[in-house]
Amino acid sequence: MLVLRLLNVVAPAYFLCISLVTFVLQIFLFIPSMFRDPSTTPLFSPALLHGALFLFLSANALGNYVLVIQSSPEDLGKDLNLGKGGEVVDWLDGSRSPGSALPSTHFCRLCARVTQRHDHHCFFTGNCIGSRNMRNFIMFCLYTSLACLDSLVAGMAYISATLSMSFVDPLAFLTLLPHSISQFFSGALLSSEMFVILMLYLWLGIGLACAGFCCHQMLLILRGQTRYQVRKGMVVRARPWRENLQEVFGKRWLLGLLIPVLNVESDYRRQKEK
């Protein structure tokens, strides 16, 4: 448990550090290197277009990241009506008590809160993912993967121009790291260039991980399931996939794709306000 709590603090700091490094490299290294082409007009120059795209992706990724943290699970432990015929709730001491909570209600030991429609605990946000922040979490994964892909392409273009090498051959990227390490220790490669090359592989790994996680999460949403329900073997009521999507993304789904907006409120909150 101590290791998990430490990871819950270190992982968000690691993500913010990677985001800051990516922003600095894009603004002060990659984008200025694109201004070397004098044939393009300033309004439609690749540097300005790429800079606008990167700022759009970064703003959505960081905006949804903040909303995931702000839309934290509610402390519903006092509001649960413990009785017969309810769903099973996992409590802090490991006991399981029946209560009239929604399916997959779970008490997280790290958050010390009860989450409605609990999916999993995300260490990179230091928060549980449930009904209140599921949409923002998916948007965060989507735009993080796109921002990493954008940084990867810009970094490869910078390395290609700096080292006068081509990435037409797919094996060129795979063999880039071992060749760069040997050149770095022989003094033929600068430390800044070596750092960019290392970041290329980091962006590739983070981008693929976020994209795969986003696709897997969307598949579960279409089925009307959560990772917690799958792990516990819970049986969910079959519903049309459109209803499952609307439950998570709401009617303002198009707005949520363009700008970071708050997630739809949970069913429990709606029932409570009624």
Query: Reduced to 3 states, what is the DSSP secondary structure of residue 46?
Result: helix
Closest-CA residue to 58 (of 93, 94, 21, 88): 21
* Catalytic residue chosen out of the listed positions 111, 122, 128, 141: 122
What crossing angle do the helices spanning 191-223 and 241-249 adopt, rounded to 10°? Answer: 130
**3-state class (DSSP) for residue 108:** strand
18 closest CA partner among 203, 208, 212: 203
- Considering Cα of 120, then 121, then 123, then 126, what sign does the dihedral take? positive
- Other CB atoms within a 10 A radius of the CB of residue 24 amount to 10
Within 8 A by CB and 6+ apart from 193, the residues are 159, 162, 163, 180
122 given a catalytic annotation: yes
**CA-CA-CA-CA dihedral for 193, 198, 203, 209, to nearest 10:** 170
Q: How far apart are CA 101 and CA 204, in angstroms?
A: 41
Q: Which two tokens stand for residue 130?
A: 């449930």
Stated as kind and residue range, the H or E segment containing 197 is helix 191-223
64 and 136 in contact (C-beta within 8 Å)? yes
Q: Which of 231, 202, 172, 173 is nearest to 25 (CA)?
A: 202
- The residues annotated with a catalytic role in the active site are 122
